[in-house]
Every structure is written in structure tokens, then in C-alpha cells.
Amino acid sequence: MEGAFDFHIHTESSDGLFSGRDVIRRAAEAGLRAISITDHDTVDAYRELGGPGAAGGAGLPALLPGVEVSTRLGEEEAHILGYFAGGISPGVEAWLEGIIEARRRRVGEAIRRLRERGLDVAWKDCEAAARGRIVNRTHIANVLVSKRYVLKPARAYAVYLGRDTVPLPEPSAEDTVASIASLGGISVWAHPGVRSFGERIDGLAAAGLAGVEVHTPRRRRADARILLEGARARGLLVTGGSDWHGFERGPQLGKFRVGRDRVGEFLERVLL
């Protein structure tokens, strides 16, 4: 398949602003040939869409089923993308339900710590701020803005939502990589930083990591070259995606795209 691709997009099922159907429509209007919706810890958007077969015809982009899982990598948070070319199986859904429950515990602990600091933040507030059933730091930040503790979400992250408030995710990156493989998927390290990549890539590769998201917006060319060379040296696939959420001040869907020349081997693995 020739054309332009984006394998990292979010919907309102996690912390994006648009529905899955809106995303597919916008992707088609932008001329993208294939996309992946990779919401945080959930595949709820695919229920709305009726599965991956809902796209790919009548001028719509092909849809590669995916998810982005928040994990613990040493003493840092790392996001692992899972792609399931064969579709979202009941096994994948059951696995993610456990991860969603762990996320709820994590967010609940963050809210408890904020309340200990005297901030009037409740679970129901954060749940109301979410469009889907996934509650995360984005929604807590929005509540802090709505209650005038800060003026902008960025300030909420800097002042209130650091590691001393929001615990690291429970699943380890290594276990997540192994789980994705056992469920028939392809695991990809999402938007790694160069330092973390250098320190952690060999351990993740040993755990069965399949690929690295090298091509992302705002990535410096020198850094992309380091990641690309590191991925190729270890026989890992290379992917790219915008991490698009639909925020008003951000670029439109389709502004960032990757071509087959950059992700050809990945396309062959997922049969696109």
C-alpha cells in the first residue's frame, strides 16, 4: 500500500477530543491511507466502529487495531504500543480490563494525595471530565483548571501532577511486551527519548519488543537518526505516528504523516 500513514492517534475513548468515526472521517479528508487508533489502555473506540472492517473502503483509510499501554520501565513511565492486525480478540479485551483496573487504582491514589494537600478534587469530577471511561492525568489537570487552582493544564502537570503525586503504572514494560506477543500482537516502544532508548532498548529487545516509534512530530533529525540506527542494529521494526489528540491549538490530523519509505517493513508485517 502506497501513500501516507499515521499509526498513533487518540479518540475520546481515552483522552482525545473526537470520536472514532470523526477520526476516520478526518483521516480520509487528510488523504491518509491507513491509520491506527491507539487509545490509552483501551480499545473501546473499536466497539463504536464495529471493528477494523468499518474502515478501508469507500475512500476511507485502512484501520490497524491498536492500543497504547502505560507501563513502568525502571523508575520511569514508558508507553508501549500494541498492534493487532488480526483484530481485537476477547483475550486482548480481557487483558486490558486488568490494566484499566490498575489505572483506576493509580488515578485514585493521585486524587487522594491531592486531597491531602488541600485540593478539592474528587473522582467524580475527573470522571465527568473524561469523555470515555479512561481517567488519566489529562482529566485531573482539566479539573484543576476548572477549579482555578491553575490557569492552564501545563501548569497543573508542573506543579501538582509529578511523580510525587501520580504513581508509576503497575504493569512493567517487559511484561507488557510479552503479553502483546502472547496475544498475537506487535509491540512498539512509543516516542522514546534518546537517553531512555540508550539505557533500556536492549532489555526491551530481550523481552521481545518488535519495534520502535522513531518518526514523531518535533523529533530532532539527529535524535531520529540515533533511534533509527539503534532500531536497525537490533533488527527492530520502525514506525511513526502523530500522537494526535485533536487539541484545538495543535496541528490538524494528517499534517504529520509517514510514507512507505520510512515504515515499509512494518507495513509488510501488518499486511498493509
89 and 103, same domain (yes or no)? no
Tens digits of per-residue pLDDT, 21-34? 999 999 999 999 99
Mean pLDDT, the chain, rounded, equals 94
Q: Could you tell me the pTM of the whole model?
A: 0.95
Tens digits of per-residue pLDDT, 197-245? 999 999 999 999 999 999 999 999 999 999 999 999 999 999 999 999 9
139 and 195, same domain (yes or no)? no
The cell for 178 is 510479552
**Alpha-carbon span 89 to 98, nearest angstrom:** 15
Torsion-angle region of 69 (φ positive above 0: left; ψ -120 to 50: alpha; else: beta):
beta
91 and 101, same domain (yes or no)? no
> Taking the alpha carbons of 123, 168, 230, 266 in that order, is the dihedral positive or negative?
negative
The reported pLDDT for the residue numbered 53 is 46
Residue 38 reports pLDDT greater than 50: yes
Q: What is the DSSP letter of 154?
A: H
Q: Are 270 and 245 in contact (CB under 8 A)?
A: no
Q: Are 169 and 106 in contact (CB under 8 A)?
A: yes
The cell for 259 is 510514507
34 and 138, same domain (yes or no)? no
**Alpha-carbon span 122 to 107, nearest angstrom:** 11
Averaged pLDDT, 110-125: 97
Q: Domain span at residue 91?
A: 4-96+177-269
Range with lowest mean pLDDT among 78-92, 175-189, 244-258: 244-258
61 and 196, same domain (yes or no)? yes
Phi, psi of 139 (to 5 degrees): -75, -35
Q: How many CA atoms does the CB half-sphere of 246 hold within 13 Å?
A: 19
126 and 141, same domain (yes or no)? yes
Q: Residue 245 belongs to a domain with what CATH number?
A: 3.20.20.140
186 and 152, same domain (yes or no)? no
- Tell me, yes or no, whether 219 lies in a domain: yes
Q: In what order do the strands lie in the sheet with 66-73?
A: 66-73, 76-83, 186-189, 211-215, 237-240
Residue type, 256: F
79 and 154, same domain (yes or no)? no
Q: Percent of the chain scored above 90 by pLDDT?
A: 91
- Tell me, yes or no, whether 171 lies in a domain: no
Beta bridge mates, 40: 68
**Alpha-carbon span 213 to 242, nearest angstrom:** 10
Residue 153 reports pLDDT greater than 90: yes
Phi, psi of 243 (to 5 degrees): 60, 45
Residue type, 175: D
Residue 51's pLDDT band (cuts 50, 70, 90): low
**Alpha-carbon span 183 to 168, nearest angstrom:** 24
- Split into its structural domains, the chain has a count of 2
The reported pLDDT for the residue numbered 67 is 98
- Tell me, yes or no, whether 167 lies in a domain: no
